[in-house]
Amino acid sequence: MFRDLRIRFTIIILLTMGALFALAPSLTNNLPDWWKNSVHKIKLGLDLQGGMHLILEVEAEKAVESYMERTLNDLQSFLKNKGVLVVSADRKGLDIQIKYVEAGNKDIVPSLITNRYPELEVLKTTRQAGHGEITLTINPKQKAAMERSAVDQALETIRNRVDQFGVTEPDISRQGKDQILVQLPGIKDPERAIKLIGKTALLEFKLVDDEHSLEEALKGNIPPGDEILYQRIVDPDTGAVTRKPYLIKKKTLLTGDVLKDARVRINSQYGEPYVAITFDSRGAEEFEKITAKYVKKRLAIILDNNVYSAPVIQERIAGGRAQITGNFTAQEAHDLAIVLRAGALPAPVKILEKRTVGPTLGEDSIRRGITSVIIGGLLVVVFMAFYYKLSGVVADLALFLNVIFILAILAAFRATLTLPGIAGIVLTIGMAVDANVLIFERIREELWIGKTPRAAMEAGFSKAFITILDANVTTLIAAVVLYQFGTGPVKGFAVTLSIGIVSSMFTAIVVSRAIFDLAFEKRRIRKISI
């Protein structure tokens, strides 16, 4: 090892200066900018600064299901164009079942379909008395790819939404196959954020079916190809919520993926907010076609299966603009504009885990944590000095350096400090003196069997070293496992514990040894105060 004292002290002093350099921005703001820019403040976990931790599950299978639903519609018109008479077409989960009348003596339908839709797989075909039946499903590779891309897309969309919402340093990342981890530090209104993040925001334009009776449909006789959807109406005076039913044709004319922009506007007459949307060129063209085709019919604007409005199309609308009205508050309109701009989620999401911490609780925790560190640290320092006298003071110095090193490493590596992390530091303070206790007890033993102070000190350090190493490696094993297993705050605990173990070995073995050596070399002391 570093035999020369001067080299050892140079290294220790350099490391200490480096640590103080890394730590300074976390302690004070009165520093030049270049300093603050080169090392950041210690990053606080959500439990200390307040905020929200969410784990969402993307129901990716739903994305595949809706793909199959679209395919089903598409297939029907495709077969019609090819002159095949379709008797019925149904979807059960991911399976499509089509019954048709066979025209020729050779059943060409299966090959027709698989040529046109290579992603589909034929599960079963039956032929019976001029009727054919085919069951199709999506091929597993395609399904997996679709699910993967649904999760990717959901991640991207959520990221967009959060960015527009304005949260500093959000952490949005994928976890496992179909989970998304969202961490929003310092957020004030977690419920609003959840609504913003979790809304599927599937915008659809569908026709209202005015040819059939709504009353009949409400009794249960829903015409084929139709569905009943509701509009949520809030009475502005009483705040009471009523649901108004609509009979809607299932076929989607246009969806929100052709949107270019969405902005909040205020209605000049009533001062009510609404969302103005602009289509891209393809959307504008489509919208114009639709409005031309269905003049005098009602077009329902539907978001996540809720009807927002169903105005009558007065005339062909060119220019690609439309508006979504409804009883919005300004905040709702603002959030709706964000989700429309960021795009729809390809599949609904479910909340698997949610943890929010209010900012006041975080401040409380920090205060209590720091108090614990100070009181615990002081007690240990006093105890060591009392029990081991001057040697104890050396250990205290090592302990003090140890805490500085831990915090500096946290700051330098942008690791997160959590409340259990602070507990880890407190625990490390108690355990860090262990190495010194081992060494000192060994020195006392060596002194007792009659060695000179110097020899006893040297023997004490070198004999205790192996013990310290073995003992710390095992604790480190537990800490590493903990890191692998833990989430958020618990991970923070594992991190500070591991850093603490390594840095305490350094301070106890290298730093205190150097001080002892210095005392023997320069002061030529005759006995150890231990």
Q: Report the residue from 384, 409, 499, 505 that binds another protein according to the rule CB under 8 A.
A: 384
Reduced to 3 states (helix: H, G, I; strand: E, B; else coil), residue 172 is strand
Q: Is 241 in the site for another protein (CB under 8 A)?
A: no
Q: Is 365 in the site for another protein (CB under 8 A)?
A: yes
In terms of phi and psi (left: phi > 0; alpha: psi -120 to 50; beta: otherwise), the region of 213 is beta
The H or E element spanning position 418 is none
Q: Are 161 and 342 in contact (CB under 8 A)?
A: yes
Q: Is 429 in the site for another protein (CB under 8 A)?
A: yes
Which range in 279-287, 305-313, 326-334, 366-374 contacts another protein by CB under 8 A?
Answer: 366-374
**Which CB atom, from 34 or from 386, has the smaller least distance to another protein?**
386
Q: Using CB atoms within 10 A of its CB, is residue 51 exposed (0-12), middle (13-18) or buried (19+)?
A: buried
Cα radius of gyration rounded to whole Å, the chain: 35
Pairing of strands 120-128, 203-207: unpaired
Q: How far is the CB of 33 from another protein (least distance, A)?
A: 36
Q: How far is the CB of 162 from another protein (least distance, A)?
A: 15
At 111, give phi and psi (nearest 5°).
-70, -35
How many residues line the site for another protein (CB under 8 A)? 92
List all residues 6 or more positions away from 352 whose beta carbon is below 8 Å from its beta carbon. Answer: 55, 56, 57, 179
Between 419-448 and 488-505, two packed helices, what is the crossing angle to 10 degrees?
20
Q: Is 117 in the site for another protein (CB under 8 A)?
A: no
Q: How far is the CB of 199 from another protein (least distance, A)?
A: 7
Q: Report the residue from 280, 372, 390, 502 that binds another protein according to the rule CB under 8 A.
A: 372
**Which CB atom, from 244 or from 350, has the smaller least distance to another protein?**
350
Q: Is 462 in the site for another protein (CB under 8 A)?
A: yes
Residue 12: CB atoms within 10 Å: 18
List all residues 6 or more positions away from 438 whose beta carbon is below 8 Å from its beta carbon. Answer: 464, 467, 468
**Which CB atom, from 47 or from 226, has the smaller least distance to another protein?**
47
Q: Report the residue from 123, 241, 330, 473 that binds another protein according to the rule CB under 8 A.
A: 473
CA dihedral 466, 471, 475, 477 (to 10 degrees): 50
Q: Is 247 in the site for another protein (CB under 8 A)?
A: no
**Which CB atom, from 381 or from 409, has the smaller least distance to another protein?**
381
What whole-number distance in Å separates Cα of residue 410 and Cα of residue 496? 8
Q: Is 170 in the site for another protein (CB under 8 A)?
A: no
Question: For 222, what's the count of Cα atoms within 13 Å in the CB-facing half-sphere?
Answer: 14
Q: Is 55 in the site for another protein (CB under 8 A)?
A: yes
For residues 440 to 459, the per-residue mask of contacts with another protein, x marking binding by CB under 8 A and - elsewhere, is: -x--xx-xxxxxxxxxx-xx
Distances (CA, A) of 182 to 194, 198, 353, 419: 10, 11, 10, 19
Q: Is 430 in the site for another protein (CB under 8 A)?
A: yes
Q: How far is the CB of 397 from another protein (least distance, A)?
A: 16
**Which CB atom, from 169 or from 364, has the smaller least distance to another protein?**
364
Q: Is 148 in the site for another protein (CB under 8 A)?
A: no
Q: Using CB atoms within 10 A of its CB, is residue 366 exposed (0-12), middle (13-18) or buried (19+)?
A: middle
Strand order, beta sheet including 273-279: 259-266, 273-279, 321-324
Q: Is 363 in the site for another protein (CB under 8 A)?
A: no
Q: Is 175 in the site for another protein (CB under 8 A)?
A: no
DSSP string, 450-471: T--HHHHHHHHHHHHHHHHHHH
**Which CB atom, from 100 or from 493, has the smaller least distance to another protein?**
493
Of 320-359, binders to another protein (CB under 8 A) are 350-358
Q: How far is the CB of 251 from another protein (least distance, A)?
A: 28
**Which CB atom, from 116 or from 389, has the smaller least distance to another protein?**
389
Q: How far is the CB of 506 from another protein (least distance, A)?
A: 17
Q: Report the residue from 433, 508, 509, 514 that binds another protein according to the rule CB under 8 A.
A: 433
Alpha helical stretches, state H, 253-358: 281-293, 330-342
Q: How far is the CB of 456 from another protein (least distance, A)?
A: 7
Reduced to 3 states (helix: H, G, I; strand: E, B; else coil), residue 65 is helix
**Which CB atom, from 207 or from 302, has the smaller least distance to another protein?**
302
Q: Are 354 and 37 in contact (CB under 8 A)?
A: no
For residues 485 to 524, the per-residue mask of contacts with another protein, x marking binding by CB under 8 A and - elsewhere, is: xxx-xx--xx--x---------------------------
**Which CB atom, from 198 or from 346, has the smaller least distance to another protein?**
198
Q: How far is the CB of 32 from another protein (least distance, A)?
A: 36
Nearest to 53, CA basis, from 422, 418, 355: 355
**Which CB atom, from 337 or from 494, has the smaller least distance to another protein?**
494
Which range in 81-89, 212-220, 272-280, 438-446 contacts another protein by CB under 8 A?
Answer: 438-446
Which range in 7-15, 158-166, 255-263, 365-373 contacts another protein by CB under 8 A?
Answer: 365-373
Nearest to 503, CA basis, from 5, 16, 38, 17: 16
Q: Report the residue from 4, 191, 237, 315 that binds another protein according to the rule CB under 8 A.
A: 191
